[in-house]
Amino acid sequence: MRHPLRVRWAEIDAQGIVFNGHYLTWFDIGITEYWRAIGLPYPEGIAGTGGDLFAVRSVINYHASARFDELLDICVRAARLGNSSMAFEMAIFRGDERLVSGEMIYVNADPESRTSRALPERLRNAIEAWEAGGSTQAIR
């Protein structure tokens, strides 16, 4: 899944580049758009599966810097589906240049107790169907 984003002035630091913490926010935007793209917009669509999702790990690798007013693409794809967890590969590109890459891991949990539980079949099926769709979901 690919989602465009334009760098705003408020995201630039004293060095004239995007402050590093904003990339994690952009990953969050990416995963939100991923849920929308597969037909389970957060939070309603995910709640409709009977669970909730919690981020338990995030890794970011910085390759190059973005600057004010550049048009970027946030790219997301499901890399692994476990019993209760999901790993997503994420990257941010400026054209064909990869600026940032990373991984986010989410765990499905009971909304009340916040204890992990198996991925709902509806969620698993939606992700698998989307990812089987071909190159439009590829993360370059």
Q: Does the pLDDT of residue 137 top 90, yes or no?
A: no
Q: What is the CATH number of domain 2-137?
A: 3.10.129.10
Q: Residue 73: beta bridge partners?
A: 4, 93
CB atoms closer than 10 angstroms to residue 81: 15
pLDDT digits (tens, 9 = 90+) for 46-104: 999 999 999 999 999 999 999 999 999 999 999 999 999 999 999 999 999 999 999 99
Could you give the CA distance from residue 5 to residue 107 in angstroms, rounded to a whole number? Answer: 27
Tokens representing residue 111 in the block: 């909304």
pLDDT for res 134: 46
Could you give the CA distance from residue 23 to residue 100 in angstroms, rounded to a whole number? Answer: 8
Average pLDDT, the chain: 94
pLDDT for res 139: 40
pLDDT for res 27: 98
Percentage of the chain lying above the pLDDT 70 cut: 95
